Structure 1
Amino acid sequence: MLLIDEELWRMAEERTQEILWTIEPNVLSEVNRKDVIEYVQKLIGGYHESEVFALGSFPLKTYLPDGDVDLTALSRVDEEEDLAQTVCDLLQSGEDPEYQVQDVQYIRAQVPLVKCTIKGIAVDISFNQMPGLYTLRFLEQVDQLVGKNYIFKRSIILIKAWCYYESRLLGGHFGLLTTYALEILVLYIINRFHSSVRGPLEVLYIFLDYYRSFDWEHNYISIWGPRALSSLPEIVDIPECDRGQFLLQKEFLQNYKDMCSSFTARASENVTQEFSVKSMNILDPLRDDNNVGRSVTMASLYRMRLAFSYGSKKLKKILKLPGQYMGAALEKFFRSTLDRNGKGQRADVDIPVSPFGTGRSEESVIRGDCNSYYGALQYIQKINAKPPLTENSSFSISPSQDHIPALSMQQHWSMFYPSGTEVYIPPEQTLYHPTYEGGMSRGTGTYIPDLVCCLSSQILSI
């Protein structure tokens, strides 16, 4: 832990919150994304007895301005491929010019996936991704347990922004981190240091400092800390230190594991039940056989180490600066984030927003809606002719606790769902070569389309 004056920490966290306001979900982005979701729901809802529900960082309220929208179409388990083809056909034949459906792709994977863009927002439609709903509820409840003004969610947003805009480390399709993998890395930090962290910036600092020197060659990471790879296939769920210092309890996790297992039996018939060791190994807290870091290649792992080390050293220097210089240095630390999102434009909003540094911001939206996910769980039980869920069902936190925010699946439940980037990557423009100060290459990262060009093309197409 970095020891600096409490007043300086407060100043640093306040400036960080100003940066967060430019990238957090807000009222305007919510309206645009909900409009896209409702369009898809109306377009394909009812085909093959299906209903469409939102998953991902949208309902968790941890999406970036460039983040995609994840949807899942729930239907009978034996009709997924037919429904996927129907969805693809419906999107390709869409004639509503307001929604500008483009780039429709049908990916025939173990679980079919339909990808497209609607109103300039990338949309991924999966099928029967029920385990993800439990993952969402799990992450949502973690955020509620730790409290501190949604510090878990806000830390995810900040760290995701640094990894995507500043270091180009997100993109499971390209050998980089998936969003869910990143969230589990953040979850360990929150689980371990929940009682002492004061804000998202401190979580980011601990995140960078811890993972810059993590021994991935000999260990995997779980939400209880590092575990020796040599201990596999046995999974050790005992915390690295006294359990009392951790936020989560074993019983709490076991409850969610039991929920997930009831919906993964069918998928597991053709999937190995043993944790698969790769270059980067991150244990899914809800699935002992799921390595959510398996998308990361050896070259990408090397890039991450460099990025984490550079970021940790740079941020440590900033936090040691006198207060009058710290704010400007933090803005420089998030320069790419602010260049992209802090000038009065936002990729998922088609009207001007409040620029960074003006003392104004759009109203943030961090709280979600649990009831919609309860409805999704009820629906899948109904169409598969299982006993109906009741308000006393074991998965439910309690439907009456409507103060508990929504659940999300931006995690890309990677045992069933193809690893995604959570950001839109245009065809034939997928790689980028960012550099550190001084010209040292960061290697290959994900491509971020030019915002001005994208907005101009949207205006011209209207």
Structure 2
Amino acid sequence: MEGSSDRECDTTLNKANAIVQGIMKKIKPTIDGKRRRDTVLRYVRHKVQSIDKSLLVSAYGSWPLRTFLPKSDVDIVVIGNIGLQDIKHVFEEDSEFRNVITHGSGTDAEILRFFVGRMQVDLCVNHDDGLASNLFMEMVNRIFMRNNLFKESILLVKAWSSIEAKILAPGLLTSYSIQVMVMHVLLNLPGKNVTPFEVFKRFLETYSRFDWDKLAMGRRGVIKLYEVNDLQTAYTGHPEFDLLTPCLEYCASETNSGKPPVCKKDGFVKADMNIIDPINRFKNLAYKVTRPRLKKGDYKVNKPDNMRSNEKTRASNDMPGG
């Protein structure tokens, strides 16, 4: 009976992996999607450098990381001696750009949001944290390798987060915070032959029971909430992170990440969810998330109903006399 149960489990897992592979084919970045984004970047770069050719214009976020969904926007940063309003003025004069607005203030970096055709663009100035986080995530991907398991897992979780769970949205979780959450799942997932579906399943299991009232996701793993401002505790944990130490130090030194924001004198700002940015211990990646805005007061990541029902069935079968 036990062998039969194992075979059924393997069959179910194989079916689930096959379904996920079908989903991945639909949501993976395509050549056309990359080409359209390349065109947008070249166009924006041309407009910005018409002001000053020495300005660096670069993409960051899910696009260069190749973890963007079909409808994802394009994140662009301009590095150089220029202000956001100077760039906004140039764009507003061009009828090709629609609805040029300034978005974000206070603890957020101000961004310029507009459309090139049907592609949304978010542009910021001298905010190089995004470039540093991209470098860091590429290093994480190299550690896990396994045929881009890390990036494919991010894509799967993002697809679920934006389409079904609705937690990947303004005022909730960002793409980068989800990347960090997936990274922590992979660091604690044993075995070499792991699939994106298994990472997704563990993601749901981990965060559906995570006690955000008492715990936080530290730089290297789970820590007590009262320890978030403890440098030693926040920066210790999984041994595989030692491979990333040089990269983390480089990212912090090359950006503004290692410094606390001027308006945050008490260091890390606690919220209903607390996820420490691996390259900036003062930054809470989930500081915008509030309980009412995330699942009507239940701010845990919830499992799909069919997964919960399957687990109940499995539990009843494991009970004596079941």
- TM-score normalized with structure 1 length: 0.60
1:221 corresponds to? 217
CA offset at residue 31 of structure 1? 1.2
1:22 corresponds to? 26
- TM-score normalized with structure 2 length: 0.84
1:249 corresponds to? 241
Match of 2:288 among 284, 295, 299: 295
CA offset at residue 255 of structure 1? 3.7
2-side partners of 1:115 and 1:267: how far apart?
27
1:165 corresponds to? 163
Contact 1:216 1:280 in 2 (8 A): yes
2-side partners of 1:318 and 1:20: how far apart?
23
2:35 corresponds to? 31
Contact 1:170 1:178 in 2 (8 A): yes
- 1:231 aligned onto 2:232: no
2:86 corresponds to? 86
1-side partners of 2:137 and 2:159: how far apart?
19
Runs of 4+ more than 6 Å apart: none
Three-state SS of the structure 2 residue aligned to 1:249 is helix
CA offset at residue 254 of structure 1? 5.1
2-side partners of 1:229 and 1:320: how far apart?
31
CA offset at residue 268 of structure 1? 4.3
1:416 corresponds to? none
Contact 2:158 2:178 in 1 (8 A): yes
Specify whether residues 218 and 109 from structure 1 end up closer, same or farther in structure 2 by C-alpha distance, changes over 3 A only: same
Specify whether residues 317 and 151 from structure 1 end up closer, same or farther in structure 2 by C-alpha distance, changes over 3 A only: farther
CA offset at residue 17 of structure 1? 1.2
Which one-letter code corresponds to 1:62 in the other structure? Answer: T
Q: 1:197-254: CA deviations, max 9, x gaps?
A: 6211111111111111111001111253321112242141332xxx45xxx3235235
Q: Where in structure 2 are the equivalents of 1:170-209 lying within 5 Å?
A: 170-171=168-169, 173-174=170-171, 176-193=172-189, 195-196=191-192, 198-209=194-205
Contact 1:156 1:186 in 2 (8 A): yes
- 1:65 aligned onto 2:61: no
Which one-letter code corresponds to 1:90 in the other structure? Answer: V
1-side partners of 2:141 and 2:18: how far apart?
20
CA offset at residue 10 of structure 1? 2.9
Three-state SS of the structure 1 residue aligned to 2:75 is strand
Contact 1:212 1:305 in 2 (8 A): no
Match of 2:149 among 144, 148, 151: 151
Three-state SS of the structure 1 residue aligned to 2:302 is helix
2-side partners of 1:145 and 1:189: how far apart?
14
Which one-letter code corresponds to 2:248 in the other structure? Answer: Y
2-side partners of 1:13 and 1:217: how far apart?
34
Contact 1:62 1:154 in 2 (8 A): yes
2-side partners of 1:70 and 1:35: how far apart?
13
CA offset at residue 23 of structure 1? 1.2
CA offset at residue 162 of structure 1? 0.6
Match of 2:59 among 24, 37, 54: 54
Specify whether residues 149 and 320 from structure 1 end up closer, same or farther in structure 2 by C-alpha distance, changes over 3 A only: farther
Specify whether residues 261 and 219 from structure 1 end up closer, same or farther in structure 2 by C-alpha distance, changes over 3 A only: same
Three-state SS of the structure 2 residue aligned to 1:22 is helix
2-side partners of 1:299 and 1:269: how far apart?
27
Q: 1:398-430: CA deviations, max 9, x gaps?
A: xxxxxxxxxxxxxxxxxxxxxxxxxxxxxxxxx
Specify whether residues 144 and 258 from structure 1 end up closer, same or farther in structure 2 by C-alpha distance, changes over 3 A only: closer
Contact 1:257 1:287 in 2 (8 A): no
Contact 2:60 2:76 in 1 (8 A): yes
- 1:13 aligned onto 2:11: no
Q: State how many pairs are aligned.
A: 301
Specify whether residues 139 and 301 from structure 1 end up closer, same or farther in structure 2 by C-alpha distance, changes over 3 A only: same
Which one-letter code corresponds to 2:140 in the other structure? Answer: V
Specify whether residues 268 and 103 from structure 1 end up closer, same or farther in structure 2 by C-alpha distance, changes over 3 A only: same
2-side partners of 1:114 and 1:102: how far apart?
12
Contact 2:205 2:303 in 1 (8 A): no
1:123 corresponds to? 121
CA offset at residue 57 of structure 1? 0.5
CA offset at residue 101 of structure 1? 2.1
Three-state SS of the structure 2 residue aligned to 1:5 is helix
Q: 1:290-348: CA deviations, max 9, x gaps?
A: 1111110121345485773342x523556999xxxxxxxxxxxxxxxxxxxxxxxxxxx
Q: 1:136-166: CA deviations, max 9, x gaps?
A: 1110121121112111111111111111111
Q: Where in structure 2 are the equivalents of 1:397-436 lying within 5 Å?
A: none
2-side partners of 1:109 and 1:309: how far apart?
31
Three-state SS of the structure 2 residue aligned to 1:71 is strand
Three-state SS of the structure 2 residue aligned to 1:54 is strand
Q: Taking CA–CA contacts closer than 8 Å with sequence separation of 6 or more, which of the two structures ends up with the larger relative contact order? A: 1
Three-state SS of the structure 1 residue aligned to 2:287 is coil
2-side partners of 1:143 and 1:251: how far apart?
12
Q: What percentage of aligned pairs have identical amino acids?
A: 23
Contact 2:258 2:280 in 1 (8 A): no
Provide the alpha-carbon RMSD of the alignment.
2.6
CA offset at residue 32 of structure 1? 1.2
Structure 2 segments unaligned to the other structure (5+ residues): 1-5, 314-322
Match of 2:269 among 251, 276, 283: 276
Contact 2:113 2:122 in 1 (8 A): yes
CA offset at residue 195 of structure 1? 3.1
2-side partners of 1:302 and 1:194: how far apart?
30
